[in-house]
Amino acid sequence: MNDENRSELAKGYEHREVEARWYPFWKERGYFHGDEHDRTRPPFSIVLPPPNVTGSLHLGHALTATLQDVLIRWKKMSGFNTLWLPGTDHAGIATQMIVEKELKKTEKKSRHDLGRAAFLERVWAWKEKYGSRIGEQHQALGAALDWERERFTMDEGLSRAVREVFVRLHEEGLIYREKKLINWCPDCHTALSDLEVEHEEAHAGELWSFAYPLADGTGEIVVATTRPETMLGDTAVAVHPDDERYRAMVGKNVRHPLTGRELPIIADAILVDPKFGTGAVKVTPAHDFNDFETGKRHGLEQLTVIDLSGRMNAAAGPVAGLDRFEARKRVKELLAEQGLDRGTKPHALPLGRCQRSQTVLEPLLSDQWYVRIEPLARPAIEAVEQGRTRFIPEAWTNTYMAWMRNIHDWCISRQLWWGHQIPAWYCPDGHVTVAREAPAACATCGKRELRQDEDVLDTWFSSALWPFSTMGWPERTETLRTFYPTSVMETGHDIIFFWVARMMMMGIHFMGEVPFRTVYLHPMVRDEKGQKMSKTKGNVIDPLVITEQYGADALRFTLAALTAQGRDIKLAKERIEGYRAFANKLWNASRFALMNLDGFTVGSDVAPAVARTAADRWILARLQRAVNETTAALEAFRFNDAASTVYHFVWHELCDWYIELAKEALYGDDSANKRATQAILVACLSTAYRLLHPFMPFITEELWHVLRAKVGAEGWPDSVLAAPYPATGPLDEAAERAFGPVIGLVDAIRNIRGEMNIAFKVVLDDVEVGSLDRDAAATVREELGRLHRLANVKDAVVRPAGLPPEKKAASAVAVGAGFEVRVGLVGAIDLQAELGRIDKEIAKLEQDLAGIEKKLENPNFVQKAPPEVVEKDRARAAELHEKRGKLEAHRAMLSGTAGPPSADLARRNAMENEKPQNPNQPASPAQTTIEQAQQVISSVAEVGKAAVSAVVAGAEAAIEKVMPSRKPAQKAKKPAAKRKVAARKAAPRKAAKKAAKKPARKVVKARKPAQKPAKAKRKSAKRR
Ligand SMILES: [Zn+2]
Ligand SMILES: [Zn+2]
């Protein structure tokens, strides 16, 4: 299956075939293995943030895997000893819930029916069956993970690390057990940490007031609450000590209207704001966080009235047994019956919900384990202050700091069965023994009947240890010595607190050093409109479907290309299709090159190419620039810039230009010339594959193998992943500048043809090139033959260096990167046909416009149709108006009824269009002085500018229909084989041929505005 000596590529790029081939190849050869004994290469390590064992690959995983794989492959190719460590998280609540659900469905049993041990057996069985799914999905994506080191948060080693950390923190007084209020989920039946609470800031609720009668019968005191059921747990009423209204009441008691208990009236300046409501507040220490603190200050009774399932317990008197929300209604009724209801008003209140079940949380009083966090947070703050760990994008530093400085103790016990059971044992006397292994006797009294704490640890407790527990801690392993601290933690910014912050604290505390040097937080993936993807909106893009449809390489490249710092990723299917086309392009270009490498062999060097022509020097210079810029972007975590640099080079320079230019030598008779060109092609392709490999690992591996076999490059490594990443080096700006204008000129002339409807067949015999610098002028003269062939030009005139083309009537002018070109249109254009076409286009457009305007004039439609439909029609009408204006302007220009605008206007436009240019970019107008630019542009009629855009934007479809023969402008760019097919296809279109043959009858006057080279590029790419 894996014939490594294949020296031919399949005709079409089939991603399924290619992507099935290479993962086993890399894995079996051990390319993914990080070598802990290797001290010769610098280490580069990443621990994969462990996905939930219950997980199925979603876009967030795909993004994480892509970015980390880009880094790992790039670093490995750059000579680093890389380790990317995989594993999964046991995901306490999520996994337990899945198995519970399954149990209920298939056997109609609850976990309690099975008992703890039997239930846990079921969970392990589930894990064995499904736990490898997420790992396999990562493999399909190409993730170069070191599977020999795969870990699971509940495997034996990691469980040992968890117990070790718990015991040590307990010994150090940093873990304690205490009865406190915690956020409780009555649905999941467990405590939650602050981070697992989803806060709704302003839930639309109501504030209900009622009166407490004074016990001595001297009056009443009115309080307000958003949770009436909690009044059954009230143990005081508080007022402000300075509040004159209540001064006399402090120290007296009120009588509870439903239970008859007496409650003291206390004065508390912290809890009570005298300006809010009546200035009196009910106090429920067992069910409210502020009241809990108040209760501690005043020694109040903590009376629990709600149970773990959210029902009122026996202490709730007349509402005992009711659900908390039913009790809410009932309490109001009961108090109304006693005439104590003092009214209700709407009130926005903060509400906490369970992250998993969305249940409204209940603050409940219970015994839980906590990490005393402040002593751990302090060094983790310092590490970032000192730059031992840095955040990218940097703005996240503040988020991290703010949270760390206001951090609360971390509740780590969960009332679940699936997880690390807390290593604490209780004797009958209530003494607690914390130990690494089950103790034989109570450490305090020596009693032997011990019961282990039934709770398990928060899932995030074990993942906080991930960067070192996975490497063998608490043993001092070689792996830790080599790969800790890890180089990069790459993850979504939504888990900066869950993961990053806690890993920092634990890593520093137990390893004495930060767990990672750099934290790169990637943006969120959203849909093309920037909306969050969700099942209810139906806008979810499933990476598994995408990979099947377009290939993992296309998905990976898309994600990398969209990952810009500080911006959400807006993912559209069209983008993925576009990058799938990029893979196709590379495949086809490679295939063409391979067909023209017969008999060519290379020595052991990867790049043995010597430039002989200006084009050779140019492509090698551009390649070096692409290498330098891609590397710089990767160093700075600018994934989007790295991807777009490679993309631009491969598509727009190597495929569009160099491979086209190479044809002359490849098909020619000069064998030395041919060999030199072949060498450059091989150098460019083999470098491009290596440059692109981290982004598109599968296709580049395939291409590398075939090229290596074809040119007999036995000295090349047998995998592109084992080949060196292209080295940065000095740029050759002179080579870029000299040849850049040749390419710009061909593009510009082809564009003028497209926009003026001049078929490629029509020879342009009045072309003048100017405004070139000295080098470029020499190169253009040397390359004139090529220019003539590629743009079908005869006898082009090259002006002396620095001089612009002469001004002439009936010409189209283009200003480009370091050049200007004038194309005389006499004899090149068929005026009557063009005018006829425009008339037809205007007529059709007016018909459409009339239809829409009639609709918009109808008040019935405007009032009754959905606003977005009306808005769409209005926009369409405006668009048609604009198009008509452009077409009319174009027509006026061609028929000679419009004069040029004043020179002043043109000059002003020229100034406004002036943009700062990067001198290192040869694709920008570099050598043209302002004065020269003005000279040219002042001859450019405003009306002509409109005409050009009209042809491009509005009438393109019409042109395609009437004059398919304008296509040859692009034909020259296609590989030979394709060109033949295209020519055959075009043959039957006689009308088109005729149109092309028809001589132009009349001289027309047409001028063209400054052409932005980038835009021209885009357009030609689109048409292709
Ligand atoms: Zn819940
Ligand atoms: Zn004891």
Distance 369 CA to ligand 1 centre (A): 19
Mean confidence (pLDDT) of the chain = 84
- Over residues 471-511, the pLDDT tens digits come to 999 999 999 999 999 999 999 988 899 899 999 999 999 99
Average pLDDT over residues 425-433: 95
192 alpha carbon, closest ligand? 1
361 alpha carbon, closest ligand? 1
Distance 186 CA to ligand 1 centre (A): 7
446 alpha carbon, closest ligand? 2
Q: Quick one: which H or E segment has residue 201? A: strand 197-213
Q: Is the pLDDT of residue 64 over 70?
A: yes
- Over residues 706-718, the pLDDT tens digits come to 999 999 888 899 9
Distance 117 CA to ligand 2 centre (A): 26
Give how far Cα 296 sits from Cα of 181, 290, 300, Å.
Answer: 12, 10, 7
Q: Is the pLDDT of residue 1024 over 50?
A: no
Q: Is the pLDDT of residue 1007 over 60?
A: no
Distance 373 CA to ligand 1 centre (A): 24
Distance 450 CA to ligand 2 centre (A): 8
Distance 433 CA to ligand 2 centre (A): 8
Distance 430 CA to ligand 2 centre (A): 6
Distance 413 CA to ligand 2 centre (A): 22
431 alpha carbon, closest ligand? 2
447 alpha carbon, closest ligand? 2
451 alpha carbon, closest ligand? 2
448 alpha carbon, closest ligand? 2
430 alpha carbon, closest ligand? 2
Q: How far apart are CA 660 and CA 646, in angstroms?
A: 19
Distance 355 CA to ligand 1 centre (A): 7
Q: How far apart are CA 711 and CA 988, in angstroms?
A: 41
**Amino acid, res. 275:** K
Distance 451 CA to ligand 2 centre (A): 11
Distance 226 CA to ligand 2 centre (A): 44
Backbone angles phi, psi at 509, to 5 degrees: -70, -40
DSSP string, 554-595: HHHHHHHHH--TTS-EEE-HHHHHHHHHHHHHHHHHHHHHHH
Q: How far apart are CA 691 and CA 624, in angstroms?
A: 11
Bigger pLDDT: 894 vs 744? 744
Q: How far apart are CA 161 and CA 164, in angstroms?
A: 5
Under 8 Å CB-to-CB from 265, ≥6 apart: which residues?
Answer: 221, 236, 237, 238, 239, 246, 249, 250, 251, 252, 253, 254
425 alpha carbon, closest ligand? 2
444 alpha carbon, closest ligand? 2
183 alpha carbon, closest ligand? 1
- pLDDT at site 5: 63
Distance 408 CA to ligand 1 centre (A): 21
Average pLDDT over residues 725-735: 93
3-state SS assignment for residue 285: coil
Give how far Cα 68 sits from Cα of 64, 515, 745, 940, 953, Å.
Answer: 6, 16, 41, 51, 41
Confidence of residue 219 (pLDDT cuts 50, 70, 90): very high
Q: How far apart are CA 684 and CA 678, in angstroms?
A: 10
What 381-387 contacts at long range (C-beta under 8 Å, 24+ apart), as own/partner pairs, is 381/405, 383/504, 383/508, 383/514, 384/504
Q: Which of 173-177, 640-644, 792-796, 930-934 has the lowest mean pLDDT?
A: 930-934
**Ligand 1 is an ion; residues with CB less than 5 A from it:** 185, 187-188, 354, 356-357, 359
Distance 459 CA to ligand 2 centre (A): 29
pTM over 0.85: no
Distance 123 CA to ligand 1 centre (A): 19
Distance 170 CA to ligand 1 centre (A): 28
Which residues pair with residue 266 across a beta bridge?
Answer: 238
The arrangement of strands across the sheet holding 486-492 comes to 390-392, 516-522, 486-492
Tokens describing residue 827 = 């004899």
433 alpha carbon, closest ligand? 2
Number of separate helices (H) and strands (E) present in the chain: 37, 29
Residues 664/613, Cβ–Cβ less than 8 Å: no
Q: Which residue is associated with the tokens 């998280």?
A: 89
Bigger pLDDT: 531 vs 42? 42
The percentage of the chain sitting over the pLDDT mark of 70, rounded to a whole number, equals: 85
Under 8 Å CB-to-CB from 333, ≥6 apart: which residues?
Answer: none
- Over residues 149-160, the pLDDT tens digits come to 999 999 999 999
Backbone angles phi, psi at 837, to 5 degrees: -65, -40
- pLDDT at site 207: 92
443 alpha carbon, closest ligand? 2
β pairing state of 81-85 and 43-47 = parallel
197 alpha carbon, closest ligand? 1
Residues 710/7, Cβ–Cβ less than 8 Å: yes
Q: Is the pLDDT of residue 998 over 50?
A: no
Give how far Cα 108 sits from Cα of 103, 113, 187, 357, 540, Å.
Answer: 6, 10, 19, 21, 33
Distance 119 CA to ligand 2 centre (A): 30
Q: Among 420, 482, 486, 514, which residue's Cα sits nearest to residue 158? A: 420
Q: Within 10 Å of residue 772's Cβ, how many Cβ atoms?
A: 28
Confidence of residue 974 (pLDDT cuts 50, 70, 90): very low
Burial of 684 from C-beta contacts in 10 A (0-12 / 13-18 / 19+): buried
Distance 182 CA to ligand 1 centre (A): 13
Distance 360 CA to ligand 1 centre (A): 8
**Amino acid, res. 628:** N
Which residues pair with residue 151 across a beta bridge?
Answer: 87
- pLDDT at site 936: 28
Summarize the chain as % helix, strand, coil (round to 5): 50, 15, 35
Rounded CA Rg of the chain: 37
Confidence of residue 871 (pLDDT cuts 50, 70, 90): confident
- pLDDT at site 384: 97
Distance 310 CA to ligand 1 centre (A): 12
Tokens describing residue 509 = 């505390």
186 alpha carbon, closest ligand? 1
Distance 353 CA to ligand 1 centre (A): 8
CA torsion, ordered 765, 766, 771, 772, to nearest 10 deg: 10
Q: Is the pLDDT of residue 907 over 70?
A: no
Q: How far apart are CA 546 and CA 575, in angstroms?
A: 12
Q: Is the pLDDT of residue 57 over 80?
A: yes
